[in-house]
């Protein structure tokens, strides 16, 4: 259903406002570069600082621009279950192919609370759901056992795993079954994640290097891990540079260097420090994306 390289799509701004024309151009570019799907309005899409209406507009525009050529998994996460339900139902209404729902941040629910939250979102619409488990941001960690319970629900189909623990893939194969879709949420370990049983990556770096990221995923799918490792070696300095500061800031700067969009981000995030810019430039050159 969902696999391969799927950019966690940035939300371009111009003068602090949504830049919809650039957003549409990015969708076209990703289709042409071989991305296997798009994930708008996740953390990389600056969902914490978008208004609810802006969030809806971005989903609507990406779905329209993709026009069924590649799947769109819309961000629909919140630490407020009612808000997550609203976002899920909107994504379904405008034609998204699935939703990405993060574990509720800040209020630290128990594992029992996680089951209740995801069950409520599951029951509110007919879209397939990818759980987003990212303990460094949400503070809580969904256990493989809890995920296995949720995997029994027909529309909870997979996980974006950003734990950084490659053993989780095997543990979740045991509790969720081998057909449960496991997608890496961490560019630097995407190659190893697939070797453990993953089937793709919801990627930050794919915003600026979509063809290389898609080629890496295709090589893994074909079982050519030597080729995938060669590509990973080209990308690794760029991965590291982008995540020196918050990844969306790093990747927007990288995209600005290739004239893809502006580097504008919303407060409380700020532009990169000069030394980080130099690291990103070096990573782009190492990957063969910039002279």
Active site residues: 132, 160
Inter-CA distances, 13 with 252, 264, 266, 282, Å = 10, 6, 9, 25
* Helix/strand/coil for 109: coil
Handedness of CA 255, 72, 243, 79 (dihedral sign): positive
Other Cβ atoms less than 10 A from the Cβ of 62: the count is: 25
CA atoms within 13 A on the CB side of 215: 15
User: What HEC string does 27-68 produce?
Assistant: HHHHHHHCCCCEECCCCCCCHHHCCHHHHHHHHHHHHHHHCC
């Amino acid at each position: 259903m969902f696999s391969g390289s799927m950019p966690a799509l940035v939300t371009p701004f111009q003068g602090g406002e949504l830049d919809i024309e650039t957003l549409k151009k990015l969708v076209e570019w990703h289709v042409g570069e071989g991305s296997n799907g798009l994930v708008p309005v996740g953390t990389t899409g600056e969902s914490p600082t978008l208004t609810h209406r802006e969030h809806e507009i971005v989903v609507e525009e990406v779905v329209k621009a993709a026009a069924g050529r590649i799947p769109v998994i819309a961000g629909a996460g919140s630490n407020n279950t009612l808000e997550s339900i609203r976002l899920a139902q909107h994504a379904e209404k405008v034609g998204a192919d699935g939703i990405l729902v993060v574990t509720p941040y800040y209020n630290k629910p128990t594992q029992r609370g996680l089951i209740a939250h995801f069950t409520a979102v599951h029951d509110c619409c007919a879209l397939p759901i990818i759980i987003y488990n990212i303990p460094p941001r949400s503070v809580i960690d969904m256990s493989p056992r809890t995920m296995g319970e949720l995997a029994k629900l027909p529309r909870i189909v997979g996980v974006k795993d950003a734990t950084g623990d490659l053993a989780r893939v095997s543990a979740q194969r045991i509790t969720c079954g081998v057909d449960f879709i496991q997608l890496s949420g961490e560019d630097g370990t995407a190659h190893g994640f697939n070797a453990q049983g993953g089937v793709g990556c919801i990627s930050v770096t794919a915003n600026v290097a979509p063809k290389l990221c898609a080629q890496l995923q295709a090589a893994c799918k074909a079982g050519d891990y030597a080729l995938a490792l060669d590509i990973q070696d080209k990308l690794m300095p760029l991965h590291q540079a982008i995540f020196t500061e918050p990844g969306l800031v790093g990747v927007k700067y990288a995209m600005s260097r290739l004239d893809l969009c502006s580097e504008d981000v919303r407060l409380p995030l700020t532009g990169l420090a000069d030394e980080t810019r130099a690291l990103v430039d070096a990573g782009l050159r190492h990957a063969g994306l910039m002279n």
